[in-house]
Amino acid sequence: MILREAPDAVFAALADPTRRRVLRLVAEHGPTSATTLEREMPVTRQAIAKHLLVLSHAGLLARKRDGQQVRYALVPAQLSEAAEWIAALGARWDDRLARLRSYLVDSAD
């Protein structure tokens, strides 16, 4: 079984705890702006906007202009792809460990 390349942009974006919190808040609130998120975060609106941009470039958020504000909404497909990659990698290791366990049991007999 050949695994696809890891969704690097998604993992890089999620490596930062502030971005994970921003993503969680967007998921909870639905389409929202940096200004709205600023009320719930201990960082400036400009910092939040930069995190939102990184998450958008990773494909985790969709941007839509709403008057003078830009609203961001979760794109769950990107998270699903990352989860599928992790699950495939985990299944591969489970298979390897099962074969090793079987070999060790057979060798002990």
Q: How many residues does the chain have?
A: 109
| Run of H or E including 66 | strand 61-66
Q: What is the predicted pLDDT for the residue at 94?
A: 79
pTM: 0.74
Extract the tokens encoding 32: 């929202």
Is 4 in a helix, a strand, or coil? coil
Q: For the chain, which domains are there?
A: 8-108 (1.10.10.10)
Please determine, for residue 1, whether its predicted confidence score (pLDDT) is greater than 70.
Answer: no
